Structure 1
Amino acid sequence: MIKQNVINYLRPNSIRQLLMYIIIILMGVGVFLTRYDAPLYQNHIVGVVETATQQSKQKTTDQFNNVDYSITQVLRIKILNGDRHGQKVKVKNNYFKSGGLNQAYRPGQQLFLNHEAGNDISIIGQKRDTLVALMAWITVSLLLMLMRLPGLMTLISVIINVTLLYLAIKLDLNVTNINVVFLFSSVGILMAFVTLSLALGWNKKMAITLTATLLSSVVALIIANIVMSLTHQRGLEFELMDYITQLPQPIFLAEAFLAALGAIMDASTDIIATQFEIQEAHPEVSRRNLFNAGLGVGRSIMGALTSVLFLIFISETFAMSLLYLRNGNTWGYTIEINMVLGMVQTTIAGIGIVLAVPIASGLAAFFIRNKEVA
């Protein structure tokens, strides 16, 4: 029964759906062809590993009794592009078994190579465009097949938002003394507007959701600023932020705003959508009951959303934190170096989610009571 329902759902019942499946198939063919796109690379030499032979293996132990193995491979590589297309070269690859900084290579893998002085060839890294294209194709295919029009709107939203973020970064790099918080907050507002417009349409529901999202985000950021000012930012080691070439505090606040915006928008959307459905099903519902219904939805989802943010943060810092601990650092030092800034950003987002519950519930209850659902 379930199998038949799935078949009926996926069976194309219009020219538009048939065209969608054709596009998905063509995209799959394109993914397959990325395996043979080496001639398209002009700035890098691409080669494929034909054989990989282990030449030596040496055990190493550090002062904390961490054991690793330094291994040397000899790779026979066939060059796939450039002036040396078709030639075969031997390249040594030195790596550690732990794989912290480098990796072993296997026959069949394609690599980016560098032509050094003399005739020497060195390895830059693995060519992974096929893997990236495959993951993108799977994501797009699932969105289009399972969600159809909403899935297409999601893809369009992602493309527009990535473009906006790219333009903001270019502007930040090319304009001297630009206000980073204002720039990325403005971009965040535009991204929220685009996302909600494509997901909900241009209607009252979208306007209320956008207003609740922005109000909650701004208030959360104001609270964070007040607390950091009162505590003189003690315990926040901004200089430990990776690869920062600008003032770190504004970058941190911009990161916090963008991180909070998505989760707050999710909470606001769920709350307000539920209130609109209640109003549509029960037009006589009072503002108080509508507000309480929104609070109930918010209470049920804010814990899960905050936990998701925390788990994402933990997954980002887990590997580096483990490395610090394995090298004899204390828990306190490891948390201070790797986790404190992320924890603060997660806390700011959590404050925003909590604020979104009464703000979204109140705005929706006020504006949709006894009015036609947009």
Structure 2
Amino acid sequence: MAVKSAFNRPFNWVILLFCIIFVGLFIFTFVNEKFYQTPIGQITHIENKSTSQITDEHHNKDIKHKETLKIKILNGKFEGKTATIQHDYVESQADSEAFSKNNKVLLHIDKHPNDAYITEKKRDSLVVAVTGLFLLTVLLVGRKIGLQSILSLIINTLIVILAIYIHNQSPTVSLFALMSVGIVISTTLTLLLVTGWQWRTLITIISTLLGTFLCIGLTQLVIQLTGGQGLKFETMTFLTLPPKEVFLSSVMIGSLGAVMDVAITIASGMNEILRRTPNISMARWALAGRNIGQDIMGTMTNILLFSYISGSLPMILLYLKNENTITYTISMNWSLEISRAITGGIGIVLTIPITILLMQLWFKLRGVRQ
């Protein structure tokens, strides 16, 4: 009876359908070699030829392995044939990768199977597993809201990719302008999906966009006044785009999520307070909104900081291992990341009073309309 009752709820069928699709895709990744244009092989045998200790010019010690790999090719014109290749790797795997028997790998083959070399492991099974578990967790915890969040995540990803694609096809079109348009569309669709069409949704959209673009405007002003001193744009010299434009675009995308979170938290909190205590004074209502903003301001700023600097941790260790000073290492790896975090923090701080003022303005113009 309990099982029958559970499937009387339509959303449980959605979760069951998702689980079936997820398991099906996961199983498919083990037999999908024929769908790849890139040659794929499976390692059938590994023979260790030699193991030696090596030391570089900075006295970093490592162990180097030389192996002979036998790989059965699973697709393409050499399907069914076996390639025997030499493979070297160091235990730290700083610039190489270790493989195990039965690993499936992507290959590059010139004319003969024995000319092949490994480009990387075939990781689609891991990607599907991690992505599926994440989406399933969101659905189980968030239910309908979780499904809307997944849809907004997909839409936002497509918008960013589309902006990059358009700029790549038409380099004369500003990347920053494309991202700005994408941010407006993304914010509107995300908040409509997550919160639905309510009076506070419009306030959240406006405060999110104002907070985001104001902090970007201030960042642009500071860069103009200081000439960008202290910002290590040379770490992006491999780009064929103006580094400042790429930097501002990345700041805008990174700040948007935190600013949106602050705006929706304050707007929803103030709306709930007003619903429960409709006779609250305007000053007390604004103070409540400010207290909510103060409670989340520090945590959201820290989330931005940790998110940005965590990605550069491997590079910091690599710099230090090669005898660079700690100040040079931090300036080269954390200059742009800390600047992004500070800019996002400014956006968070600005969004708090903007949201409170818009809530008060709406109250004065329209009254309390639930």
Asked if TM exceeds 0.5, the reply is: yes
Q: Render the CA deviation track for 1:308-333: whole Å, top value 9, x for unaligned.
A: 11111121110001100111101121
Aligned residue in 2 for 1:96:
90
Given that residues 276 and 373 in structure 1 are in contact (C-alpha distance below 8 angstroms), is that contact kept between their aligned partners in structure 2?
no
Given that residues 157 and 195 in structure 1 are in contact (C-alpha distance below 8 angstroms), is that contact kept between their aligned partners in structure 2?
yes
Q: 1:331 aligns with which of 326, 335, 338?
A: 326
- Write the letter of the residue equivalent to 2:99: Y
Aligned residue in 2 for 1:192:
187
Stretch moving more, 55-64 or 261-270: 55-64
- Separation of aligned partners in 1, 2:359 and 2:31: 54
Q: 1:49 aligns with which of 43, 51, 60?
A: 43
Extract unaligned runs of 5+ from structure 1. Answer: 1-6
Aligned residue in 2 for 1:371:
367
Aligned residue in 1 for 2:101:
107
Counterparts of 1:225-236 in structure 2, within 5 Å, are: 225-236=220-231
Secondary structure class of the residue paired with 2:29: helix
Given that residues 73 and 93 in structure 1 are in contact (C-alpha distance below 8 angstroms), is that contact kept between their aligned partners in structure 2?
yes
Q: What is the aligned length?
A: 366
Aligned residue in 1 for 2:66:
72
- Separation of aligned partners in 2, 1:51 and 1:291: 70
- Separation of aligned partners in 1, 2:305 and 2:29: 36
Q: CA deviation at 1:84?
A: 2.4
Q: 2:239 aligns with which of 229, 236, 244?
A: 244
Given that residues 264 and 352 in structure 1 are in contact (C-alpha distance below 8 angstroms), is that contact kept between their aligned partners in structure 2?
yes
- Separation of aligned partners in 2, 1:358 and 1:145: 35
Q: Render the CA deviation track for 1:321-351: whole Å, top value 9, x for unaligned.
A: 1100111101121122111011111110011
CA separation of 1:19 and 1:255: change in aligned 2, threshold 3 A: closer
Aligned residue in 2 for 1:4:
none
CA separation of 1:19 and 1:160: change in aligned 2, threshold 3 A: closer
Q: CA deviation at 1:146?
A: 2.1
Counterparts of 1:278-357 in structure 2, within 5 Å, are: 278-357=273-352
Q: CA deviation at 1:367?
A: 1.5
- Separation of aligned partners in 2, 1:179 and 1:22: 42
Q: Render the CA deviation track for 1:291-322: whole Å, top value 9, x for unaligned.
A: 11111011111111111111111211100011
Confirm whether residue 36 of structure 1 aligns to residue 31 of structure 2.
yes
For normalisation by structure 1, the TM-score amounts to: 0.93
- Write the letter of the residue equivalent to 2:227: H
Given that residues 78 and 88 in structure 1 are in contact (C-alpha distance below 8 angstroms), is that contact kept between their aligned partners in structure 2?
yes
Q: CA deviation at 1:115?
A: 1.2
Given that residues 266 and 352 in structure 2 are in contact (C-alpha distance below 8 angstroms), is that contact kept between their aligned partners in structure 1?
yes
- Separation of aligned partners in 1, 2:293 and 2:13: 40
- Separation of aligned partners in 1, 2:76 and 2:171: 40
Aligned residue in 2 for 1:24:
19
Aligned residue in 2 for 1:3:
none
Confirm whether residue 154 of structure 1 aligns to residue 149 of structure 2.
yes
Q: Render the CA deviation track for 1:71-118: whole Å, top value 9, x for unaligned.
A: 112222111112222222222211111111211001121101111244
- Separation of aligned partners in 2, 1:107 and 1:259: 41
For normalisation by structure 2, the TM-score amounts to: 0.94
- Separation of aligned partners in 2, 1:87 and 1:373: 72
- Separation of aligned partners in 1, 2:353 and 2:220: 21
- Separation of aligned partners in 2, 1:225 and 1:183: 17
Q: Render the CA deviation track for 1:236-289: whole Å, top value 9, x for unaligned.
A: 221312641111111111111111111100111111110000011011112211
Counterparts of 1:81-230 in structure 2, within 5 Å, are: 81-119=75-113, 120-230=115-225
Extract unaligned runs of 5+ from structure 2. Answer: none
- Separation of aligned partners in 2, 1:346 and 1:23: 36
**Percent identical:** 29
Q: CA deviation at 1:180?
A: 2.3
